[in-house]
Amino acid sequence: MRAHVFPDYEAMSTAAADAVAQSLEEEPSTVLMLPTGITPLGMYRRLVEMHRTEGLSFAGATFFNLDEYLGLTPDHEASYHVYMKENFYGLIDADPARIFVPDGTASDPEVECERYEAAIAEAGGIDVGVLGIGRNGHIGFNEPGARFDSRTRVVELSESTRKINAADFEADRAPGRAITVGMATIFASSAVVLLASGTNKAGAVAAAVEGDVSESMPASMLRNHPNASLFLDEDAASDLGQGVAG
């Protein structure tokens, strides 16, 4: 796993957008896996700008989102369907037939997870997986303890994640369950780029990079990946090299 430290959030976001753009330029039918949250917003803004001003096309690409809350309709304002439409898919030339976001309202969520895994396989697997990281080290909604051999499934969110994500909801906590792409599904991506910004990610970043490779720190799994990169701003990198216990 290679860590790249950029001076600030904008520089990190530009580098992330450049990495995605490069894969699209080399292979227009690239299969991308994408996160939501605060961290990737700068990357999406830059990719939209590249689409508008530099002719970057996404028309041949396939998109899989990492996760969605269970129980939220695709038009719920806090759903990841709406987030992606407003911040990315609705602003580029993506083919709607090749946009996949887990259906949080599926009558049988287990079947939905199997369908999602099958769709990824059908697309030929993920070429580039872009990830954020939770303060507890989660990737997708794979919370600490998620098995490295897990596939797309229904998960319980930790109390800390529900509180951090509460800002998107009227309640004081986010929904308790979600569908997430699994750890093994992420690991099978040909390339992974994990983005982290801000001092509140520094502890998780240091533990993932310098602590044990352990299911209690999901992002540490990427250390065993042959082509995983960390794109960090200086704040997110600020605990690196200071010694990490576990």
Give the interface segment with ligand F6R, choosing from 15-23, 94-102, 135-143, 168-176 (CB under 6 A).
Answer: 135-143
- Segment contacting ligand F6R (CB under 6 A): 3-11, 30-38, 113-121, 168-176? 30-38
Pairing of strands 31-34, 128-131: parallel
In angstroms, what is the minimal distance from the CB of 65 to ligand F6R?
Answer: 7
Do residues 140 and 157 touch, judged by C-beta distance below 8 A? no
Does residue 79 belong to the site contacting ligand F6R (CB under 6 A)? no
Is residue 136 part of the annotated active site? The answer reads: yes
Q: Which tokens in the block code for residue 165?
A: 């994500």
Tell me whether residue 8 is one of the annotated catalytic residues: no
**Of 138, 142, 225, 239, which one is the catalytic site residue?**
138
Q: Which residue is nearest to ligand F6R (CB)?
A: 132
Residue entry with tokens 């990169």? 229
Q: Pick from 14, 23, 30, 36 the residue near ligand F6R by CB under 6 A.
A: 36
Q: How far is the CB of 26 from ligand F6R (least distance, A)?
A: 25
Q: Is 117 a catalytic residue?
A: no
Q: Which of 13, 23, 30, 39 binds ligand F6R (CB under 6 A)?
A: 39
CA-CA-CA-CA torsion sign (235, 225, 160, 80): positive
Binding flag, residue 139, ligand F6R (CB under 6 A): yes
Indicate the SS3 state at residue 44: helix
Is there a contact between 3 and 241 (Cβ–Cβ < 8 Å)?
no
CA angle, corner 228, sides to 225 and 229, nearest 5?
155
Active-site position among 68, 127, 143, 235: 143
Q: Which of 205, 243, 241 is nearest to 223 (CA)?
A: 205
Counting contacts by CB under 6 A, is residue 42 touching ligand F6R? no
